[in-house]
Amino acid sequence: MTRIDATAQRGFDRVLGAENVISDRARLRSYECDGLTGYRVIPALVLLPRTAEQVAAAVRVCAEHGITFVARGAGTGLSGGALPVADGVVISLQRLRRVLAVDPVDRLAVLEPGVTNLEITKAAAPYGLYYAPDPSSQQVCTIGGNVAENSGGAHCLKYGFTTNHVLALEVVLADGSVVTLGGDTTEQLGPDLRGVFLGSEGTLGIATKVTVRLLRTPEAVRTLLADFPSVAAAGEVVSDIIAGGIVPAAVEMMDTLAIEAAEAAVCAGYTLGVPAALVVELDGPAQECHNQFERVKAICEAHGCTRLHIAADAEERAAIWRGRKSAFAAVGRISPDYFVQDGVVPRTRLAEVLSRIGEMGEAVGLRVANVFHAGDGNLHPLVLYDASAGETARAEKLSAEIAELCVELGGSLSGEHGIGTDKACSMPKMFSEADLELMGRVRDAFDPGGLCNPGKLLPTPRLCGERPGKYRPHPLEAAGVIERL
Amino acid sequence: MSTPSAFDPHRPPSRELLDDCVHCGFCLPTCPTYQLWGEEMDSPRGRIYLMSLAEQGEIGLDGALHEHIDACLGCMACVSSCPSGVRYDRLLEAVRPQLERNVPRSRSDRLFRNVIFALFPHRRRLQVAAAIGVVYQKLRGLPAMARLTERVAGMGATFARLAALEALLPPVRLRDAFAALPERIPAAGTARRRVALLTGCVQDVFFHQVNVATARVLAAEGCEVLVPRHQHCCGALELHSGRELSAIARAQRTIATFEKLPVDAIITNVAGCGSSMKQYGELLADDPAWATRAAAFSATVRDVHEVLAELEPVAPRHPVRARVVYHDACHLGHAQGVRAQPRAVLRTVPGLRLVEAAETELCCGSAGIYNLVAPDAAAELGARKAANIRAAHPDLVVTANPGCLLQLRRHLAATSGDAFVPLMHPVQVLDASIRGTAPAMD
Amino acid sequence: MTIATVLRPTSLAEAAAALADTTGSVRIVGAGTAADWAGSPEPADVVLSTTALTGVIVHNPGDMTVAVRAGTPLRELNAMLAVHGQRVASDAARVDLGATIGGLVATADAGPSALVYGCLRDLVIGATVMLADGTVARTGGHVIKNVAGYDLAKLVHGCHGTLALIAELVLRLHPLPGATSTVRLIGSLADSAEAARAVLASPLEPVACEWSNGALLVRLAGTPGALPARLATLLGSAARRLDAAEQEAAWAAHAALVAGPGSRPHVDRAVLRVGARPSRLPAVIAELTSELGATGVTAGLATGVGTVTLPADPDVVARAHQLVYGVGGSSMLRSRPPGCVAPAWGPAPSAIEVLRAVQAELDPRGRLGAGRFHPWM
Ligand SMILES: Cc1cc2nc3c(=O)[nH]c(=O)nc-3n(C[C@H](O)[C@H](O)[C@H](O)COP(=O)(O)OP(=O)(O)OC[C@H]3O[C@@H](n4cnc5c(N)ncnc54)[C@H](O)[C@@H]3O)c2cc1C
Ligand code: SF4
Ligand code: SF4
């Protein structure tokens, strides 16, 4: 059944114990996809190591036998990054989930890769500290997955993404050797390889130990939920806040459909039927936070806000966030099927992109719900469809066109979910051949044999055909502002 | 493409329910088996995936599906944590009977399960077992089971399970085991409600005092309490284990016993019983003779805390000065969504300080008969729960399910060297507060 | 000694041609403020200066991003951005000496406020780089949030002129703070470390927390308000809030120590940059001072990054590296006297093979920056 030769299989059994090697077809199938279920591949084996040493030993067996491997955290990725390879193994990191150290003095934590994002904050909380990046999936996604995807979250506008919070990584390279990238401080010994590994989607090695910075819990947090008569009005509020020199901890926007879904799931107190709602959160020293909050309130009112709800306590604040964070999983309640898109546009083009998305949806007769990180222009259009009504192909096309629209407007194919399997073939729309070739060379430097999560992130002829999508010049390039040689 | 489903046509899990799962994984962290083993197949997402494959005929019912559904505690933490509203409870209730019917169990497994189901749901047999004290010996002594246990005990792995059964049973006062409540307890003052009380099988034998306290508290808060004499087991254990036919029979008997009573609510103080009785409507939905009766019955079932939380307190309370951890029984918190009410009820007691332990949503490993059929996993979860509770430094731990009480007692005791932590049902605390006695620590 | 050809391209095309049309070794130079950092560059056939590759390509105030040619001095860039109330939030000591943005990135330089804004690696959102064969490639983009493809701007952050020429950079901007204020508390390094711990445990969120010249300096930024007073109270009666002129002077003095005595011929001291866990830094510095005669100390008590000036003696410097590595830290020699052969680096990092492989892929002939990472590469 498996396509792995017997000596290799014995090798895995030896380093992990046979009971930690899954080879039964039905069980293998439960690993055939991640959070993006449209892509499925049954792996030859699934390995369940318990320690970093076992991960390295297993990778050495792979290297010896030329077997490809795919690291897997919680399998919540939305770009098919943890999609198995048919003749390869999946190395699950779910059993490496010890918090190895929390150092309240130097304000850092050392973690095994399977620790969930939220557990880091839970472990740090007794010291008045927390881990800043907060993807909506934080209760389940792992720090290893976050490292691979350079995950972001609502609070990344002010505090930055995973890459800004990881100090050091212990990495098992494709040949099974173990190296440390980064160190105890931000001082670097030469080029920032840690930074290259962050966001490399599991294609450069497997992180087996992660050192992250912890921040002090802010003295004050103020959160408001404001309704607006139009998406454009809400967009102007965002611009005015930023132009006013305020860096909010988070600015999130939801439209009518997204609000409907979130309310159906968690009854968080959003107003049904309003065209747009903004969640704005400020934090920091109490007085500073208070002053800025008053200015934000005034800006909201100046733009015709129809309801301003200010969280009175931690519980109300949690409710607002529960609504926002459950939004996309909750879309399942208002539509039988949906695609989540993840594009980025320059913040100043938000209103434009939203109206274009609306038109595109109308043109093909599909509804699009919008939930997004308004502060940094990261959109999550949710294309709603009904597979049983034969709408899948149309929806998929619309979703892909939205991502490409973002590139056309000077943005990016992905703000946080990654390229993975899903968008590898769209990469040539954003990057030239030379850009991609450089990425390929860096990949070869880390993994000359191409064993580590092959087929992800970079387009391959096998995946995309000989001539993948056409390069779309960046608007600055089209306008002759930037040169392309 | 059109491979036939591996399930038989009698109530297979429905495709719509299976399709509700979007594979987001939000249910993983609160799933106890996933916490223990870190495997996809032992997570709710993985179990649903396997069910779905079976429904499409891509895998059979035996093997992976059977083993991983067996390993599920039925704690329903996954239902609470799912943002997409996936009804894993209904999927599980559909799949378990399918497996019981269609997949033969190994002989030792079958025999052991038979022992449990021969013992637990029967008040009489439990009383006998309790009277002699040592259940393990008692099992041999029960004529109906002598042969069974001999064979069971002869099989290595099953020893651990029997030891588990023995270790769990609480010391019981003989008087309690045979005691019964009067059939009607009048309300103190003007009656605000009239309710019927399910006394339960395990509960009444091992925790009779909880029933006494429940009746007293309800009366004190203005409820007239009816306690039908000929009550039987509500079938919770069987329902949650996929023994559908006997569960149905028990449900019908329970409905018949209670439905004629002129009451506002049928009350239970046992989480597992409440969750199963609230499910009767679904369980009997296909039976035209019973569907309406069952639905009407389920609609009147309330957990005792739900009723108490609704009633403005009238009975004066005396202070109980204690740090108290309330442990959410899965069948109350996850299955019935009753989390706030018991806490609210406890907060009516002056002097009482409610503290939360870490991982409140995680199962203690009791889970019906789980700690009997999978003692290792249950013990690991029990130890984890005990450590979390100890870390909150309570003077007293309360929970509303006898299974949890038994499990917690064992594991809180097992952390040797630590101070003794008394365990009670929340209504016992309330009872003590209303009566002005020190809470009777068991 | 061969006389190097000096090329000063003014555009991307000229820069590419400068690389593609020449052979032999290439040394990339910017303003020359870190010419002698991180190892002795070997004599090169071509010196490629970025000083004419300057100017803003596009600034979009609403998006708070700017695209700029790499030879632009950060000081000038920030002066231009200030008109819009914005800035690149880096306060590396060399900024005031005229360092170019490309040079600052290539040397991974950072100042005290890296505590909250991060290093330049955290502010660069896109880059155009040029390989030794003239290949031009872009990475990242023009939006602050972007995970498409590898983040190769990181690869040139700290490359010290090896691997690739940084031709253009896209940077994330921050608003100019409404006001900054600094509180000074005179005290020993050890006492200041204690005081710093209290500041960091408080909710005051300082943007810099440094010890230098016998005093702890804590900088706050934001709208003017009660914060400085709270900070002064926290630090006790000996703490003093500096007025604007004092504030400027105090931080200039700090920057002067970081920059060190420079590499003038008569100077025989070198600057060592040190990174160690904040809790370990004071002890390391104390030992460098007492054992090896270090002076000119600046210590980032929250970041764990410090600088000391040491005798430019190879033996002393080697021992200093050892000392820092002994506590799990890292160190690099910065400016030093001409001809000084003290080792720029301590032991090679565990990932050195990866670094060599990256160099072999990007610059197989080793044209760029030979000598920089001696003896590692
Ligand atoms: C409902 C929902 C909401 C989400 N919200 C957000 C959000 O707000 N922001 C956001 O950024 N993302 C979000 N995501 C996406 C996803 O949660 C993140 O990408 C997350 O970081 C993935 O973590 P994981 O542990 O599930 O990784 P997996 O999905 O298991 O793997 C993701 C990738 O990481 C690689 N990988 C995993 N572990 C390692 C390791 N130790 N070393 C090297 N490579 C590894 C895998 O090979 C794969 O390529 C959301 C997903 C869902 C389902
Ligand atoms: S059951 Fe719910 S929470 Fe779990 S994976 Fe499915 S949709 Fe997500
Ligand atoms: S019922 Fe409990 S054990 Fe079973 S899958 Fe759900 S969370 Fe896991």
| Calpha distance B66→B69 (Å, rounded) | 5
Q: Quickly name the fold that domain C179-258 has.
A: Alpha-Beta Plaits (3.30.70)
Range in A373-387, B232-246, C211-225 the model is least confident about: B232-246
Q: Provide ipTM, 2 decimals.
A: 0.97
Which candidate from A46, A48, A140 shows the least CB-CB separation from B25? Answer: A140
- Percentage of residues in chain C with pLDDT exceeding 70? 99
> What count of other Cβ atoms lies within 10 Å of the Cβ of residue C140?
23
Same domain, A62 and A126: no
- Stretch B16-38: mean pLDDT: 92
pLDDT at A388 over 50: yes
Per-residue pLDDT reduced to its tens digit, B275-317: 989 999 988 998 999 999 999 999 999 999 999 999 999 999 9
User: What is residue B114's predicted lDDT score, i.e. its pLDDT?
Assistant: 67
Pick the residue whose CA is nearest to atom 4 on ligand 2: B27
Mutate to test the interface with B, among A23, A25, A29, A45 (most CBs of B within 10 A): A29
Which residues does A19 contact at the CB level (< 8 Å), separation at least 6? none
Distances (CA, A) of C193 to B393, C220, C304: 35, 18, 11
Residue A121 lies in a domain: yes
The H or E element that residue B194 is part of is strand B193-198
Quote the number of domains for chain A.
5
Contact A253, A154 (CB under 8 A): no
Tell me the count of A-C CB pairs closer than 8 A. 301
Among the candidates A152, A181, A216, a domain finishes at A216
Name B300's Cβ contacts closer than 8 Å, sequence gap at least 6: B263, B264, B265, B266
- Three-state DSSP at B173 gives coil
Q: What is the mean pLDDT of chain B?
A: 82
Distance CA A261, CA A270 (A): 10
Q: Do residues C324 and C274 lie in contact, with contact meaning Cβ atoms separated by under 8 Å?
A: yes
Q: Which CATH number fits domain C1-176+347-377: 3.40.30.10, 3.40.50.10610, 3.30.465.10, 3.40.710.10?
A: 3.30.465.10
Alpha carbons C174 and C117: distance in angstroms, whole number: 9
Does residue A201 share a domain with residue A114?
yes
Q: How confident is the model at residue B148 (pLDDT cuts 50, 70, 90)?
A: very low
Over residues A309-329, the mean pLDDT reads: 89
CA distance C188 to C195: 10
Q: Does C10 touch chain A (CB under 8 A)?
A: no
Residue A417 located in a structural domain: no
Q: Token match 């609070």: residue? A: A155
Q: Which one of B14, B22, B35, B87 makes the best mutation probe of the A interface by having the most chain A beta carbons within 10 Å?
A: B22
Q: Whose CA is nearest to atom 13 of ligand 1?
A: A135
- Token readout for A150 is 């350079």
Domains of chain C, by residue range, sit at 1-176+347-377, 179-258, 269-333
Q: Does one domain contain both A212 and A229?
A: no
**Which runs of consecutive H residues, i.e. helices, occur in B123-201?**
123-132, 135-141, 146-153, 156-168, 174-178
Q: The domain containing residue A264 runs over which residues?
A: 220-329
Judge: A35–B24 Cβ closer than 8 Å, yes or no: yes
Among A380, A408, A436, the domain boundary falls at A408
Whole-number Å distance between alpha carbons of B58 and B200: 42
3-class DSSP state of B424: strand
Q: How confident is the model at residue A374 (pLDDT cuts 50, 70, 90)?
A: very high
Give the residue from B381, B397, B233 showing the smallest Cα distance to B327: B397
Q: Which residue in this structure is represented by tokens 């107003």?
A: A271
Asked if residue A404 is part of any domain, the answer here is: yes
C-alpha distances (whole Å) from C59 to each of A229, C118, C120, C142 are 31, 21, 18, 10
Measured between CA atoms, the residue of chain B closest to residue A136 is B26
Query: Which range has the top average pLDDT, B6-10, B149-153, C74-78?
Result: C74-78
Q: What is the pLDDT of residues A53-101, one digit of tens each?
A: 999 999 999 999 999 999 999 999 999 999 999 999 999 999 999 999 9
> Across the interface, do B84 and A94 touch by the CB < 8 Å criterion?
no
Is A210 found in the same domain as A110? yes
Q: What does the angle CA C21 – CA C26 – CA C32 come to, to the nearest 5 degrees?
A: 125
The reply to whether ligand 3 has any atom less than 6 angstroms from the CB of B95 is no
Q: Which atom of ligand 3 is nearest to the CA of B27?
A: 7
Answer yes or no: is A413 within a domain. no
Q: Give the integer Cα–Cα distance in Å for A50 and B407.
A: 28
B179-309: which CATH topology? Rossmann fold (3.40.50)
B11 neighbors B20 (Cβ within 8 angstroms): no
In angstroms, what separates the C-alpha of C88 from chain A's closest C-alpha?
14
Please answer yes or no on whether C205 and A284 come within 8 Å at the CB atom: yes
Classify the C-alpha dihedral B121-B127-B133-B139 as positive or negative.
negative
> Which of B154-168, B386-400, C198-212 is predicted with the least confidence, judged by mean pLDDT?
B154-168
Of all residues in chain A, the one with the smallest CA distance to C115 is A186
The one-letter code for the residue type at B387 is: A
* Residue at token pair 């003093």: C240
Q: What gap in Å lies between CA C318 and CA C333, rounded to an integer?
A: 10
List of residues 6+ apart from A264 with CB closer than 8 A? A330, A333, A334
How many Å is the Cα radius of gyration of chain C?
A: 21
b/e per residue, A291-322, with b = 16+ CB within 10 A? bbbebbbebbeebebeeebebeeeebbebbbb
Is B150's pLDDT higher than 50? no
- Do A416 and C332 make contact, defined as CB atoms within 8 angstroms? no
Distance, in Å, from the CA atom of A353 to the CA atom of C132, rounded to the nearest integer, reads 39
Can you give the length of chain B in residues? Answer: 442
Q: Which of A181, A216, A251 is the last residue of a domain?
A: A216
Give me the CATH topology for the region C269-333: Alpha-Beta Plaits (3.30.70)
- Using CB atoms, pick whichever of C145, C176, C345 lies closest to residue A344: C145
Residue A261 reports pLDDT greater than 80: yes
Cβ of B132 below 6 Å from ligand 2: no
- Whether chain A has a CB inside 8 Å of the CB on C204: the answer is yes
Answer CATH for B15-102 from 1.10.1060.10, 3.10.20.30, 1.10.1670.10, 3.60.15.10: 1.10.1060.10
Ligand index nearest the alpha carbon of residue B17: 2
The reply to whether A127 and A233 lie within a common domain is no
User: Taking phi first (over 0 means left), then psi (-120 to 50 degrees means alpha), and beta for anything else, what does residue B25 get?
Assistant: left
Separation CA B88–CA A86 (nearest Å): 30
C145 and A373: CB-CB below 8 Å?
Answer: yes
Subunits in contact with chain B (3 or more CB pairs closer than 8 Å) = A
How far apart CA B215 and CA B226 sit, in angstroms, is: 9
- Residue C31 is which amino acid? A
Max CA distance (Å), chain A: 71
Whole-angstrom Cα distance, residue C241 to residue B307? 62
Residue nearest to atom 7 of ligand 1 (CA): A135
What's the pLDDT score for residue B125? Answer: 53
Residue A484 is assigned to a structural domain of this protein: no
C-alpha pair distances (Å), A2 with each of A21, B276, B350, C85? 12, 43, 65, 62
In the reported structure, the alpha carbon of residue B142 is separated from the centroid of ligand 2 by a whole-number distance in angstroms of 45
C275 touches A at CB < 8 Å: yes
Determine whether the interchain pair A24/B84 forms a contact, defined as Cβ–Cβ distance below 8 Å.
Answer: no
Which of A289, A135, A157, A303 is closest to A223 using CA atoms?
A289
Contact at CB, B41 and A27, closer than 8 angstroms: yes
Quick check: A448 contacting C, CB < 8 Å? yes
- A175 vs A243, more confident: A175
Categorize the per-residue pLDDT at B116 as very low, low, confident or very high, splitting at 50, 70 and 90: low
Q: Do domains B179-309 and B318-435 have the same CATH topology?
A: yes
Q: What is the pLDDT of residue B158?
A: 42
Residues A229, A231, A234, A240: what is their CA dihedral angle, to the nearest 10 degrees?
Answer: -130
Contacts of B24 in chain A (CB under 8 A): 35, 76, 137, 140, 329
Pairing of strands C215-222, C295-300: unpaired
Residue A55 inside a domain? The answer is yes
Rounded to two decimals, what is the model's pTM?
Answer: 0.90
A16 reaches B (C-beta below 8 A) = no
Residue A357 sits in a domain whose CATH number is 3.30.70.2740
Residue pair A114/A93 in contact (Cβ under 8 Å)? The answer is yes
* Three-class DSSP category at B322: strand
* pLDDT computed for residue B371 by the predictor: 63
Q: B378 pLDDT exceeds 90?
A: no
Whether A159 has a pLDDT exceeding 80, the answer reads yes
pLDDT at position B430 over 60: yes
CA angle A283, A287, A289 (to 5 degrees): 25
Is residue C331 within 8 A of residue C308, CB to CB? The reply is no
**In ligand 3, which atom is closest to the CA atom of B363?**
2
Distance in Å, CA A330 to ligand 2 centroid? 10
- The domain segmentation of chain B, as residue ranges, is 15-102, 107-176, 179-309, 318-435
SS (H, E, C) chain A: CCCCCHHHHHHHHHHHCHHHEECCHHHHHCCCCCCCCCCCCCCCEEECCCCHHHHHHHHHHHHHHCCCEEEECCCCCCCCCCCCCCCCEEEECCCCCCEEEEECCCCEEEECCCCEHHHHHHHHHHHCEECCCCCCCCCCCEHHHHHHHCCCCCCHHHHCCHHHCEEEEEEECCCCCEEEEECCCCCCCCCCHHHHHCCCCCCCCEEEEEEEECEECCCEEEEEEEEECCHHHHHHHHHHHHHCCCCCCEEEEEEHHHHHHHHHHHCCCCCCCCCEEEEEEEEECHHHHHHHHHHHHHHHHHCCCCEEEECCCHHHHHHHHHHHHCHHHHHHHCCCEEEECCEECCHHHHHHHHHHHHHHHHHHCCEEEEEEEHHHCEEEEEEEECHHHCCHHHHHHHHHHHHHHHHHCCCECCCCCCCCCCCHHHHHHHCCHHHHHHHHHHHHHHCCCCCECCCCCCCCHHHHCCCCCCCCCCHHHHCCCCCCC
Looking at the structure, do residues A164 and A261 belong to the same domain, yes or no? no
Q: Distance between CA atoms of A450 and A87, rounded to whole angstroms?
A: 14
**How far is CA A330 from its chain centroid?**
18
Q: Which residues of chain C have pLDDT under 70?
A: 1-2, 263
Q: How many residues does chain C have?
A: 377
**Higher pLDDT pick, A81 / B235:** A81
| Selected residue with higher pLDDT from B107 and A354 | A354
Q: Alpha-carbon distance A48 to A50, whole Å?
A: 7
Is the Cα torsion angle B190, B193, B194, B195 positive or negative in sign? Answer: negative
DSSP reduced 3-state for B389: helix
Ligand 2 center to C20 CA (angstroms): 55
Residues A192, A112 share a domain: yes
Does residue B123 have a pLDDT over 80?
no
Is A21 in the same domain as A68? Answer: yes
Instruction: Return the pLDDT at C216.
Output: 97
Same domain, residue pair A438 and A461: yes
Decide if C179-258 and C269-333 have a common fold: yes
Tell me B106's DSSP state: P
Q: Domain spanning B318-435: which CATH class is it, in words? A: alpha beta
Residues of A in contact with B26 (CB under 8 A): 137, 139-140, 329
